Amino acid sequence: MLSIKDLYFSYNEEPVLKDINISFESNHIHGIVGLNGSGKTTFFNVLSGFLTPDNGTILLNNAEVLKKDIAYIDAESFFYPKLTASEFLSVFPKTNSNFNETELAHIFNLPLDEFIENYSTGMKKKLLILSQLKQDKQLFIFDEPFNGLDIESNKSLQYIIELLNKKGKTIFIASHIIEPLFGLCHQIHHLKNKNFVKSYFPNNYELLNKEVFGEFDEHLKNTLSKSL
């Protein structure tokens, strides 16, 4: 169980996350949804320890979360220049004994001898995912994992996420594209106004689209019809 109590994070004295109290089941896939600026990335950064909250505690199974237990796959990562994909992967210790670099690179269609700077955005993302799969981490955080991936890679990633979950990993996914989350997540949590306002289970996912994006859709339609 990942328990968050009284979490408060502000940036330049402006609260970004406010009084968050929530528990996430271990070994589950959790989707995090919310409009742009709702604090999804900030929440992940606080969870990963990159940002220190002003207040609150985050405990994983009643113990402090260690950074070495977290795999963080961000929306847009950067890579060292003039490194090949193979050299990049060699930096990461192989603590997942089942990890087969060649097989996975083949599935993901990644030429390992190529310089990473010649990779497309999607390929870079897949390479980053491989680097994290090489290690035996407890908690996987995917920030917008489906952006920039082709249909095949998207499918592969969804399958990888399911497989990780079957191996007992706890997974968090933030995504603007919510459709892939429906088939994957055990729970989807709505982040709005600096806090989690509601959690959805598979049986009420149809409400999700309406409640999360309905208000925004209405506003968008009204504004556009007046402005164009």
Partner 1 sequence: MIQLLKIRYFQLKRDLGFLFFVIVALASGVSYLVFNHQKQIGLYAVGIVMYLVYSFHKNRRDIAFITKHFEKAKIQLLTEYQLFLLPVSIPCLFTNYWYCFFVLHLFVLVIPFLNIKSQYSFKFSFITRVFKNDYIFISGVRRNLISLIILSLLALVLSPLKLFPLVALFLFNNVVFSFYETNESVQMLQASQKSPKQLMSSLLNSGVKKIALINFPILLINSIFNPDLWMFNMYFFAYNVLILATVIALKYESYQYKNSVSNHQIKLIVMILGLFIPYLFPLAIIFYVQSRAGAIKNLSHYLDAVN
Residues 141 and 169: beta-carbon distance below 8 Å: no
Applying CB under 8 A, among 132, 138, 153, 175 the residue interacting with partner 1 is: 132
Answer yes or no whether residue 84 interacts with partner 1 by CB under 8 A: yes
Residues 127 and 119: beta-carbon distance below 8 Å: yes
Answer yes or no whether residue 92 interacts with partner 1 by CB under 8 A: yes
Of the candidate spans 73-81, 148-156, 203-211, 214-222, the one that interacts with partner 1 by CB under 8 A turns out to be 73-81
Applying CB under 8 A, among 12, 62, 81, 203 the residue interacting with partner 1 is: 81
Applying CB under 8 A, among 1, 11, 23, 50 the residue interacting with partner 1 is: 50
Of the candidate spans 28-36, 84-92, 165-173, 181-189, the one that interacts with partner 1 by CB under 8 A turns out to be 84-92
Least distance (Å) between residue 156 CB and partner 1: 19
Of the candidate spans 86-94, 97-105, 186-194, 208-216, the one that interacts with partner 1 by CB under 8 A turns out to be 86-94
Applying CB under 8 A, among 7, 17, 32, 128 the residue interacting with partner 1 is: 128
- For residue 141, which amino acid is it? I
Answer yes or no whether residue 120 interacts with partner 1 by CB under 8 A: no
Distance, CA of 49 to chain centre: 15
- Which of residues 52 and 62 has its CB atom nearest to partner 1 in the complex? 52
Distance separating the N- and C-terminal Cα atoms of the chain: 49
Least distance (Å) between residue 87 CB and partner 1: 6
Render 128-195 in DSSP notation, one character per residue: HHHHHHTS--SEEEEESTTTT--HHHHHHHHHHHHHHHHTT-EEEEE-S--HHHHHH-SEEEEEETTE
The token pair that represents 115 in the structure block? 């310089």
Answer yes or no whether residue 61 interacts with partner 1 by CB under 8 A: no
Residue 217 to residue 173: CA distance in whole angstroms: 23
Residue 203 to residue 222: CA distance in whole angstroms: 31
Answer yes or no whether residue 72 interacts with partner 1 by CB under 8 A: yes
Least distance (Å) between residue 189 CB and partner 1: 24
The token pair that represents 82 in the structure block? 């003039």
The token pair that represents 171 in the structure block? 């997974």
State the residues that interact with partner 1 by CB under 8 A: 49-52, 66-68, 71-72, 74, 77-84, 87-88, 90-93, 113, 115, 128, 131-132, 135
